[in-house]
Amino acid sequence: MTRFRVTKAQLAAAENGTTPDVLAPGVRLLFCGINPSLYSVVTGCHFARPGNRFWPALHDGGFTPRLFHPSENEELLTYGCGITNLAPRGTRRADELSRDELEEGAEELAAKVEANGVRTVAFLGVTAYRTAFAEPGAVIGRQERTVGGADVWVLPNPSGLNAHYQRPDFARLFGELRAAVFGTAGAEGR
Residue 5 lies in a domain: no
Q: Within 13 Å and on the Cβ side, how many CA atoms surround 60?
A: 15
Residue 17 lies in a domain: no
Q: What residues make up the domain containing 44? A: 27-182
Residue 78 lies in a domain: yes
Residue 189 lies in a domain: no
Angle at 155 (CA atoms; ends 25, 6), nearest 5 degrees: 75
Q: Residue-wise pLDDT tens for the chain (190 aa)?
A: 566 788 899 989 889 999 999 999 999 999 999 999 999 999 999 999 888 999 999 999 999 999 999 999 999 999 999 999 999 999 988 888 899 999 999 999 999 999 999 999 999 999 999 999 999 999 999 999 999 999 999 999 998 666 688 899 999 999 999 999 999 765 555 5
Residue 37 lies in a domain: yes
Residue 106 lies in a domain: yes
Q: Within 13 Å and on the Cβ side, how many CA atoms surround 64?
A: 21
- As for how many domains the chain has, the answer is 1
Residue 7 lies in a domain: no
Q: Which amino acid is at 106?
A: A
pTM, rounded to two decimals: 0.93
Specify the CATH number for the domain of residue 42.
Answer: 3.40.470.10
